[in-house]
Amino acid sequence: MKKVLIATEKPFAPAAVEQIKIVLEEAGYQLNLLEKYTDVDEFKKAVEDVDALVVRSDKVTREIIEAAANLKIVVRAGAGYDNLDLDACSEKGIVAMNTPGQNSNAVAELAFGMMIYQARNGFDGTSGKELRGKKLGIHAFGNVGKFVAEIAKGFGMIIYAYDPYVPKIEIEKYGVKVVGSAEELYKTCQYVSLNIPANEETIRSIGYQLISLMPKGATIVNTARKEVVNEDELLKTFEERPDFSYLSDVAPDCKENIESNYKKRYVFTTKKMGAQTSEANIKAGIAAARQIVNYLEKGDTKFQVNK
């Protein structure tokens, strides 16, 4: 019997685990669950004899891969796969996949949750601001960016996007104005939603040079990765611009500095929370389980990311 391990330091909603179990049981597979683990040794032990692995932001390092003697496939139930050591997977012939798009609406909704919370001064009873009529820049128009655009329309925002990898015509279909450079996006928009992946090109790429171009009331909404922001330059911006706010569903390393010195100008969730809804967990979890079955039974590599 094939064994599938779900290793989630931040567990899926119970309903999602139930549904994943149904998909795996139908295929005759066994589900092993390792949730809220605190020690990497627990993860190493649990992965030892499994054929397939499902994770979220859990770090699948070379050490984990080496401990997994039978592993054939690892699926990151979510979009960003910067937590997987792809080289280590490839070297051992292990297929790595993600489940693109499945949790994107949840992430986009949280971006707006944070924007409203900030615009209304943390619901502290004072007069806040509205989103209607404000300019929103979507930095990278992938799956999350599309949902951000859809929701922003409902709020009556004026929407711009920059994505050198998506044809202009594709973005314009969403009623979004396309700009030709990141500089233009930041110069135009009071709100910028970061929806870029974390990779060599983007890590620490969002810094003073871009943010300082933003108009008054500049607000960066980061539901991507903390690593894409240059934190030294983030602090410099906080220091120089009293009108600047930073909203993020994952706290930066310089969180304490911001919390002590720049009150009311930030929102940080306790854990990475963008994808933390039952709906997103169910969709991403079921997709991961199906992809595992399709790969192990039929060799389907559609969502492979380490080709």
Chain residues in the site for ligand 3PG (CB under 6 A): 10, 56-57, 78-80, 103, 272, 274-276
Query: Considering beta carbons, is residue 237 or 276 the nearer one to ligand 3PG?
Result: 276
Query: Considering beta carbons, is residue 10 or 72 the nearer one to ligand 3PG?
Result: 10
CB of 302 to ligand 3PG, least distance (A): 18
Do strands 52-55 and 135-139 pair parallel, antiparallel, or not at all (unpaired)? unpaired
Query: Considering beta carbons, is residue 123 or 165 the nearer one to ligand 3PG?
Result: 165
Report d(CA 179, CA 177) in Å as an integer. 7
CB of 277 to ligand 3PG, least distance (A): 10
- What is the dihedral sign for C-alpha 257, 260, 261, 262? positive
CA–CA–CA angle 160, 148, 81 (5° rounding):
110
Query: Considering beta carbons, is residue 137 or 274 the nearer one to ligand 3PG?
Result: 274
Query: Considering beta carbons, is residue 79 or 95 the nearer one to ligand 3PG?
Result: 79
Do strands 52-55 and 95-98 pair parallel, antiparallel, or not at all (unpaired)? unpaired
Q: Shortest CA distance to 97 belongs to which of 60, 145, 142?
A: 60
CB of 284 to ligand 3PG, least distance (A): 7
CB of 13 to ligand 3PG, least distance (A): 11
CB of 229 to ligand 3PG, least distance (A): 15
CB of 237 to ligand 3PG, least distance (A): 24
Measured at CB, which residue is nearest to ligand 3PG? 78
Query: Considering beta carbons, is residue 230 or 276 the nearer one to ligand 3PG?
Result: 276
CB of 90 to ligand 3PG, least distance (A): 20
Query: Considering beta carbons, is residue 252 or 274 the nearer one to ligand 3PG?
Result: 274
> What are the residues facing 39 on neighbouring strands?
none
